[in-house]
Amino acid sequence: MNRRILRLAIPNIISNVTVPLLGMVDLALMGHLHDKVFIGAVALGSMIFNFIYWGFGFLRMSTSGFVAQEFGRRDFTQVMLNLARPLTLALLAGLLLVLLQVPVASLAFWLVDSGPEVETYAREYFHIRIYAAPATIGLYAIAGWFIGMQNTRLPMIIAVSVNLLNIVLSYTLVRGFGMLSAGVAFGTLVAQYMGFILALIMLYRYYSRFFRFYEKRLFWERFALGRFFSVNRDILIRTLCLIFALSFFTARSAAMGDTLLAVNSMLLQFFMFFSYLVDGYAHAAEALTGRYVGSGNRIALRNAIRYLFLWGGGIAVVFTAAYLVWGFPILTLLTSNTEVLSGAAPYLFWTVLIPVVSFPAFIWDGIFIGATASGHMRNAMLVSTLLVYFPVYYLSLPYLGNNALWLALLLFLLSRGVSIWLMSPMAIFKNKT
């Protein structure tokens, strides 16, 4: 079982780690410029795209769960239909975002309270990067299909290629051509389309033999579409809660001033880096849980869950120790701005606590996605967001200031893990899917 977990998890870890590394490089490029407003501009622009794109993350998650179960049943017609449906929806949604970019931007910047100079650069960033929407969302659908097929190597190759190209382009455009935040946006735009083309090439090269199982007439089959949209609706609600919590964190930071916005944006990278790494085990959980639920192998399912938590806990302990010892040196790599560094020092201890508190939520998410137990996962997230995150923030804000944001985030992550664990006996082991 350890070998199966690592075979799936390690490629996911490698591909996932490149995502926060890209975010760190973007912030580092801005952090070494002459004004901290560029840090805030990229942070706000990225926050908006996180809200948009992570909102469509349900396509990747539901696709991996559906495909893993059908792969376990050896129903290759449904395997192919569960590629066609999410990929079609992804491309249509991406095109719609491009067409509606002006009202989307107006709403986003109306909701976020920031300084006028930060907003100017953030808007420029937004209106460049939005053209990558069809490619970005399309990649979610294809990556989820690969994971459901128990293949995490291809998503790794695609993700590493995209993010390395993005880093090279952003660095060249910012440092070589002086394009500031626009250079980061153009780097992302080009890299996303190159990644989507690469994904289509790999899909054809490695899985063209499955294309003959596709039956166009079944695309609109009522029961399958109903289940597809029901599960995706639940995962979308869950994902929007998570995105809203993180976006609220950035928005409240912006309301406290440009300095605290830069400070919290930098420190949040510690959480993002850990979350993407431990998510590698969550993706392994999706693939293995879906396969064992689909084949009805409950013994293997229980063994997989036990070992997944052992690996996740071990990673969390390592990161806690690393952040405790090297937290500030890591921060100095991200920015040379003395005001930001001095402002971040009092809040570094929160980054040390996050790994051990948050890892159960990530592992359970993967298990629930693989079992397509989306309703329970949605309910756990709603409880954590509405009954923990916001009440803790607003009740502690008068006494703790910026620490209230970090306390609310920490308890939100803890609540996610606890609440979904309490639901697992009914949701996973009594799941008849």
Give the separation between CA 191 and CA 165, rounded to whole angstroms.
6
Question: Helices (DSSP H) in 149-221: which residue ranges?
Answer: 153-171, 181-207
Which pair of structure tokens corresponds to residue 407? 């306390």
Q: Is the pTM of this model over 0.85?
A: no
Structural contact between residues 282 and 363, judged by C-beta atoms closer than 8 angstroms? yes
What pLDDT is attached to residue 331? 81
Within-domain flag for 6: yes
Helix (H) or strand (E) holding 318: helix 298-334
What pLDDT is attached to residue 193? 94
Measured from the Cβ of residue 224, the count of other Cβ atoms closer than 10 Å reads 16
For residue 131, give its domain range.
Answer: 2-427
Among 205, 85, 220, 186, smallest CA distance to 145 is for 85
Within-domain flag for 253: yes
Within-domain flag for 195: yes
What pLDDT is attached to residue 432? 45
What pLDDT is attached to residue 350? 92
The long-range contacts involving 397-404, CB below 8 angstroms and separated by at least 24 positions, are 402/253, 402/256, 402/260, 402/263, 402/264, 402/347, 403/347, 403/350
Give the separation between CA 239 and CA 59, rounded to whole angstroms.
11
Question: Measuring CA to CA, how many Å separate 9 from each of 100, 150, 201, 204, 280?
Answer: 37, 11, 23, 24, 5
Within-domain flag for 412: yes
Residue 16 CB contacts under 8 Å (≥ 6 apart), including other chains: 159, 276, 277, 279, 280, 283
Angle at 65 between CA 61 and CA 68, to 5 degrees: 135
Q: What is the pLDDT along the chain (433 residues), one digit of tens a residue?
A: 777 777 777 887 777 666 655 655 666 666 555 556 666 667 777 777 777 777 787 788 888 888 888 888 888 888 899 899 999 999 999 999 999 999 988 887 777 666 666 777 778 888 888 999 999 999 989 998 998 898 888 988 998 898 888 888 888 887 777 777 778 888 889 999 999 999 999 999 999 988 988 888 888 888 878 887 888 788 888 888 888 888 788 888 888 887 888 888 888 888 888 887 888 888 888 888 888 887 778 888 888 899 999 999 999 999 999 999 888 887 887 777 778 888 888 898 998 999 999 999 999 988 998 888 888 889 999 999 999 999 999 999 999 989 999 999 999 999 999 999 998 888 776 654 4
Q: What's the chain's length in residues?
A: 433
- The number of folded domains in the chain is 1
Give the separation between CA 276 and CA 8, rounded to whole angstroms.
15
**Residue 244, class by beta-carbon neighbours within 10 Å (0-12 exposed, 13-18 middle, 19+ buried)?**
middle
What is the secondary structure of 63-93 as a DSSP string?
HHHHHHHHHHHT-HHHHHHHHHHHHHHHHHH
Within-domain flag for 24: yes
Within-domain flag for 340: yes
Within-domain flag for 433: no
Among 126, 124, 125, smallest CA distance to 104 is for 126
Within-domain flag for 432: no
